[in-house]
Copies of this chain bind each other. A is one copy, B any other.
Amino acid sequence: MPPGLKDVAARAGVSIKTVSNVVNGYVHVAPATRARVQAAIEALGYVPNLAARQLRSGRSGVIALAVPELQSPYFAEIAGLIVQAAERRSWTVLIDQTDGHAERERNLVAGLRRHAIDGLIFSPLALAGEELAPPAGTPMVLLGERVWHGPADHVAIDNTSAAADATRHLTSLGRRRIAAIGVQDKPSAVTAHQRLAGYRAALAEAGLAADPALEMPADGFHRADGAAAMARLLDAARPPDAVFCFNDLLALGALRTLLSRGVAVPGDVAVIGFDDIEDGRFSTPTLSTIAPDAPRIAQLAVDLLAERLGDGPAASGAPRELRVDHRLVIRESTAG
């Protein structure tokens, strides 16, 4: 007979309920206990009976992930990591690209039931607050900085302090005319607002006055936007000696403009981005950046959804806000 929950519990020296909690992926199990249970699972070769579990639970084993744009390497990477984290639970992930359209985000949230989808991990761009509430009984986890105190569990980094860290790195190098690329006016551009706030805070901290001429708008967060904004900065009366770009794509576009005009990076202009996408690890010069802990974001999103989908105490608690770490990654574009 194949080993069961009872055998795992006996070997790990815990209750059957604890083994069940680990198998179902509830995050409130202590790390040491979880490790012991996992060791016992591996030693015994225990395989949870997923088909039976799904039948019992009425779940389909399929979740949805909605992101604004898969052509953004950051979202593609997060999607890949979520697919991997979900696979460890034998879940299939269906991904919806919303392009940030309010109507499509709304349809998505409303239409899950029909497609036998158990739950949703959602990085909204257009909707906020109560608009995001899914139909009763459809678990949802929100990603990104747009929604605090929303209707569902939420995972994000501290965007403002991450932007301040990027800018502080530039001031610490003695740069004094530090530009920002990616400023957006519209109220829904929460990411851009927070990164601008962090930039300004770090400048103030270093005793540098904010200069509106150095705060460059960008329609989107793509390479072409960064290239165009950098060209405008170089054409201005007093070009910058450093640039904080609100994401890596903007920074890679800015790099292209700088290098094609013969401006030395970082000699004349230091450049830092945000996201730590793979492109910036292979560009010449390689790109300094802020790295959100993307694997942790993906794992937490899947774990939180698993809790909501389970029958444990966490299935129906109040929405939780989880903050994920980020770190400064110094590469050739600021420290050549």
Q: What are 8 A-B contacts defined by CB distance under 8 Å?
A: A70-B70, A71-B76, A83-B99, A92-B111, A94-B96, A115-B117, A253-B282, A255-B284
- Expressed in whole angstroms, the minimum distance between the Cβ of A43 and any Cβ of chain B is 25
- Expressed in whole angstroms, the minimum distance between the Cβ of A74 and any Cβ of chain B is 10
Please give the residue numbers on chain A whose beta carbons come within 8 Å of chain B beta carbons, in ascending order.
60, 62, 64, 69-71, 73, 76-77, 79-80, 83-84, 87, 92-97, 99, 104, 107-108, 111, 114-117, 222-224, 227, 252-253, 255-256, 259-260, 278-279, 281-284, 286
Max chain B CB contacts within 10 Å: which of A92, A99, A111, A223?
A92
* Alpha-carbon distance between A244 and B106 when the two chains are bound, in angstroms: 46
Q: Given the known A-B contacts A64-B94, A94-B95, are A282 and B227 also in contact in the complex, defined by CB atoms under 8 Å?
A: yes
B92 touches A107 (CB 8 A): yes
In the A-B complex, list the 5 residue pairs whose CB atoms are closest, starting with the nearest.
A94-B94, A95-B95, A259-B284, A256-B282, A223-B282
B95 touches A70 (CB 8 A): yes
- Expressed in whole angstroms, the minimum distance between the Cβ of A280 and any Cβ of chain B is 10
- Expressed in whole angstroms, the minimum distance between the Cβ of A55 and any Cβ of chain B is 13
> Copies per complex?
2
* Alpha-carbon distance between A117 and B96 when the two chains are bound, in angstroms: 13
Chain B neighbourhood of A104, CB < 8 A:
87, 92
B79 touches A70 (CB 8 A): yes
* Alpha-carbon distance between A224 and B111 when the two chains are bound, in angstroms: 40
Chain B residue at minimal CB-CB distance from A72: B76
- Expressed in whole angstroms, the minimum distance between the Cβ of A118 and any Cβ of chain B is 11
Chain B residue at minimal CB-CB distance from A64: B94
Chain B neighbourhood of A227, CB < 8 A:
282
Chain B neighbourhood of A283, CB < 8 A:
256, 283-284
* Alpha-carbon distance between A300 and B238 when the two chains are bound, in angstroms: 50
* Alpha-carbon distance between A25 and B259 when the two chains are bound, in angstroms: 46
Q: Given the known A-B contacts A284-B259, A284-B260, are A92 and B96 also in contact in the complex, defined by CB atoms under 8 Å?
A: yes
A93 touches B96 (CB 8 A): yes
* Alpha-carbon distance between A281 and B253 when the two chains are bound, in angstroms: 9
Chain B residue at minimal CB-CB distance from A278: B223
Chain B neighbourhood of A87, CB < 8 A:
104
Q: Within the complex, which residue of B62, B64, B71, B284 is in contact with A73, where a contact is CB–CB below 8 Å?
A: B71
B60 touches A69 (CB 8 A): no
